[in-house]
Structure 1
Amino acid sequence: MEAYPLIIFALWLSLAMTSAWAIQRATGRSGWIDTIWSLAVGIGGISATLLADGNFDRRLTVLLFVALWSLRLASHIGARTRRSKEDPRYAQFLQEWGEQAAWRLFIFLQAQAIAAFILVLAIYLAAENDAYFLGPLDVIAIIVALVALCGETLADAQLARFRKSPGAGTGICEVGLWRYSRHPNYFFEWLFWCCFPFFALSQAVLSWLSLLAPMMMYWLLVRVSGIPPLEEYMLRSRGDKFRAVQKRVNAFFPGPRKSVTQLHGETW
């Protein structure tokens, strides 16, 4: 694994997130940040597959999955940003930062560039694998990627449909996949990044670094910038209605809903 592609990826991602910061300051819409981030990771990932020296068929497969992920997520967030107000997570951050919001947002987005670099590194390591393609680990990787992309697309579509229904402004989505996880879109987003270690793992010494991608995504989504600020917003805007959902529906991993009897049993 050569160092110069990694330097190029790091510089590109830092520049992309600097542009995202400038656009947010100019428009006041933080949704463009995640749109640009998705495209930046996608462009970086596609470049990684082109610069890598691994098996051609595996590189092509990884490229297609990265392109599908990036275009789908960026178009979804971009469309949502055009028709909605400020992202509640970023709005909360900006409010907490007060007069220091501008420079703290800049630092925060550079941290996002570092996170994006870890993801692109996983893609690069997957594309560097020169072992025979379509072995057992490749089959697992393809299945994981397909399930993740289809699951996240379905979850986003179900939420978008719910938001158009009467009473959505004060209600909580519990239809389809949202019956079994409070954040199925986050779950499938994390699951997608689990495919790259399967593509990457081989005899290469550094292939284990690809595991950092799903580990980091889980930490970010569950502990930092995903679920915590979004659920704080939901508690402020939905109150006891959302607290009831928290008690009966898993936060991240899909699972069976708790019945009223089970809830009463836990209470006692």
Structure 2
Amino acid sequence: MDFAPLLHVLIAAVILMSLAFEVQRRTRNAGIVDVVWAGGMAAAAVYYGVVSEGSALSRFLAAMLGGVWGARLCLHLLWRVLHEEEDGRYRYLRQHWQDSQAKFFGFFMLQAGFTALFSVPFLIAANNPTASLSIWSIAGVLVWLLSLCGESLADRQLAAFRADPANRGKTCRAGLWRYSRHPNYFFEWLHWFGWVLLSVGAANAWLSLLGPLLMGASLVWITGIPFVEAQSLRSRGDDYRRYQQETSMFFLWPPRSRDS
């Protein structure tokens, strides 16, 4: 399998993140990094679908599923960047780093590397020689569909809650947010298992495991939940502490009594 397209994606990601850094420098809104990451992932999936050596079906599924997933996330994040103030996580980093643009540039370049790294499962799936629908590819599409619908629903429920001025300073417990403190992250993580299934039969299929492994580690321990929850505690205090006591952190689970 030719890994040259991965290098092409990395080079493109560095260029795009450099431009995004300049936007951040001018607007003082680092949320653009997430928009460009998602858009870059969508573009990488489409590119792999065009240039890879897998079957026509495998290349089509990689381009379509990866493109739709990344485009939806990109547009969702772009709306937030255009209509809301800078995310609290980035405001905290800006203050903590004393607005050091050198550190922000390093952060944007790190995200460029992550774009290439996280696109590996797309590349593996696009090079799958399987030419007809199999039980694995059908299962992969179903996992993709379930995760996309779940993440979209969680995003809409949170957006509707935040749009009500009466909820300012309160924690969303509506819909899926009653069963997980981060249902959007859970479905984002679940999405990557679809690529593991779509890669069955491909050379180096084990590399598709990078998706769920890296995304799980990132969301639970590194850039996801720790930053979000720290910001939520700063902004919502005791209300969010009660939410932590009552609600599963990641997996969807019935809420528990504070006395249990």
Give the secondary structure class of the aligned counterpart of 1:239: helix
* In 1: Cα distance, 2:81 partner to 2:202 partner: 43
Asked whether the 8 Å contact 2:140–2:194 carries over to 1, the reply is yes
Alpha-carbon contact 1:148-1:189 (below 8 Å) kept: yes
Give me the TM-score of the superposition, normalised by structure 2.
Answer: 0.96
Aligned: 1:217 with 2:215: yes
Note if contact 1:12-1:44 (Cα within 8 Å) is conserved in structure 2: no
Change (3 A) 1:31 1:203: closer
Structure 2: 5+ residue stretches without partners:
none
Give 1:211's aligned amino acid.
Answer: L
Unaligned runs of 5+ in 1: none
Letter in 2 for 1:104: K
Is the 8 Å Cα contact of residues 13 and 44 (structure 1) preserved in structure 2? no
1:254 corresponding residue in structure 2:
252
Matched position secondary structure for 2:173 = coil
The separation in 2 between residues aligned to 1:109 and 1:214, in whole angstroms, is: 22
Aligned to 2:83: 83
2:189 aligned with 1:194, yes or no? no
> Aligned-residue CA RMSD in angstroms?
1.3
- Where do residues 96-115 of structure 1 align in structure 2 (5 Å cutoff)? 96-98=96-98, 101-115=100-114
Amino acid paired to 1:75: L
Partner of 1:116 in structure 2?
A: 115
CA contact (8 A) 1:48 1:120 kept: no
Percent of aligned pairs sharing the same letter: 35
> Cα distance, 1:166 vs. partner?
4.1
- Structure 1 residue ranges (4+ consecutive) displaced by more than 3 angstroms after TM superposition: none
Aligned residue number for residue 48 of structure 2: 48
Task: Identify the residue that residue 236 of structure 1 maps to in structure 2.
Answer: 234
CA contact under 8 A between 1:115 and 1:216: conserved in structure 2? no
Q: Secondary structure at the match of 1:29?
A: coil
Could you say what secondary structure the match of 1:250 adopts? coil
Which residue does the alignment assign to 2:19? 19
- Residues 193, 214 of structure 1: 8 Å contact kept: yes
Q: For residue 96 of structure 1, report the CA deviation from its aligned partner.
A: 1.2
SS in structure 2 at match of 1:228: helix
Q: Which moved more, 1:2-11 or 1:73-82?
A: 2-11
Q: Distance in 1 between matches of 2:202 and 2:47?
A: 23
Moved more, 142-151 or 126-135: 126-135
**In structure 2, how many angstroms separate the alpha carbons of the residues matched to 1:182 and 1:159?**
11
Cα offsets for 1:9-47 (capped at 9, x unmatched): 111111111111111011111222111111111111210
Aligned length: 260
**Offset from partner CA, 1:196-225 (integer Å, 9 cap, x none):** 111112252x12111111111111111111
Supply the distance in 2 between the matched residues of 1:30 and 1:184 (Cα, whole angstroms): 23
| Matching residue's letter, 2:17 | M
**What's the counterpart of residue 36 of structure 1?**
36
**Structure 1 letter corresponding to 2:144:** A
Contact 2:199 2:208 in 1 (8 A): yes
